[in-house]
Amino acid sequence: MPRAAFGALARLVAIAALALSLASPAVEAAADDLDALVAGPQRSAANRVRDPYRHPAETLAFFGVRPDMTIVEIWPGGSGWWTEILAPYLRDAGKYYAAGQETSLTSEEAVWNRETFAKKMAVDPALYGKVVVTEFAGDRHDIAPPGSADMIVTFRNVHNWMADGSADATFRAFYKALKPGGILGIEEHRGDPNRSQDPLAKSGYVREDWTIALAEKAGFKLAGKSEVNANPKDTKDYAAGVWTLPPSYRLKDQDRAKYEAIGESDRFTMRFVKPGG
């Protein structure tokens, strides 16, 4: 058999084996166990590499996820980093909305994210067939039916909305989609509280008080903070902003060992609640 054909056959066999394993009683039972899903065979090796910095099981546990919830993730990206955990976790008893970038966006990054995510969903319908894909862009779209979501989660995105001027509209959209008593979980690169906040967050860092103010302006109440994603080695004073650090390494090989030793950014993790539940 030609090498290319053999490689294609091997990939098909691997996909089939993964689908069978995910349908097994053991994995079905593990759908209620975040730790088991974080270690599960459905996750890519590239995504697992970031676990020491993202602490997925601990972060989701802090937010209070349950398998019977309706959860919206904002901008899951092409790799579906959190989708690999949340989609199987919610598959049987809950609902997972992946609120991606607007389909009208034609930038190389936006197209790559949409196409790569769609391919990921299509390759394993047993795992991802129930994922509901919606559009997110401030308050221009319903990311889920109004008042239907138990939780919205978003990871390292507040600086993007500050940069494009959509932060207020974004938090209004979150408030609209959540049920009374619903939870908004946010992780973001933590800005230095002793430095003034750039309203456009060009460095990628956002102060905690700035984020709290944005959420409260939309009607949310702060319900808790976690230091699970803290990194005290992050000095937050790099010429290329937070993207100096891994995994971006915007300065390429310049002082790479130094930034590798620091690791990924210092991040705050917060839980907000929509009053009324």
CATH label of the domain that carries residue 269: 3.40.50.150
pLDDT at 277: 74
What is the pLDDT, as a whole number, of residue 74? 98
Percent of the chain at pLDDT exceeding 90: 84
Q: Does residue 23 belong to any structural domain of this protein?
A: no
Question: Does residue 100 have a pLDDT over 50?
Answer: yes
In a domain, 41, yes or no: no
The answer to whether position 22 is within a domain reads no
Residue 106 is predicted with a pLDDT of 85
Q: Does position 17 have pLDDT exceeding 90, yes or no?
A: no
State residue 19 phi and psi, 5-degree precision: -60, -40
Establish if 20 belongs to a structural domain: no
Reply yes or no on whether the pLDDT at 75 is more than 90.
yes
Distance CA 190, CA 183 (A): 20
- The model's pLDDT over 210-237, given as tens digits with 9 standing for 90+, comes to 999 999 999 999 999 999 999 999 999 9
Flag whether pLDDT at 30 surpasses 60: no
Cβ proximity of 185 and 155 under 8 Å: no
The arithmetic mean of pLDDT across residues 265-277, rounded, is 96
Percent of the chain with pLDDT over 70: 88
Q: 1 in a domain, yes or no? A: no
- The pTM is what? 0.87
Residues 6+ away with beta carbon under 8 Å from 105: 111
Question: Does a structural domain hold residue 174?
Answer: yes
Neighbouring C-beta atoms of residue 16, cutoff 10 Å: 10
Whether 45 is in a domain gets the answer: no
Positive or negative, the CA dihedral 238, 222, 52, 98 is negative
Given a cut of 80, whether residue 11 has pLDDT beyond it is no
Whether the per-residue pLDDT at 1 is higher than 60: the answer is no
Query: Which residue segment(s) compose the domain that 66 sits in?
Result: 50-273
pLDDT digits (tens, 9 = 90+) for 123-179: 999 999 999 999 999 999 999 999 999 999 999 999 999 999 999 999 999 999 999
Q: Give the CA distances from residue 80 to residues 98, 175, 237, in Å, rounded to whole numbers and listed in that order.
A: 9, 24, 30
Higher pLDDT, 97 or 31: 97
Q: Is residue 35 part of a domain?
A: no
CA 237 to each of CA 196, 205, 243, 266: distance values in angstroms, whole numbers, following the listed order: 13, 10, 11, 12
Going by pLDDT thresholds of 50, 70 and 90, the confidence category of residue 14 is very low
Q: Is the pLDDT of residue 45 over 90?
A: yes
pLDDT given for residue 32 in this prediction: 57
CA pair distance 118, 114, nearest whole angstrom: 6
* Total number of domains in the chain: 1
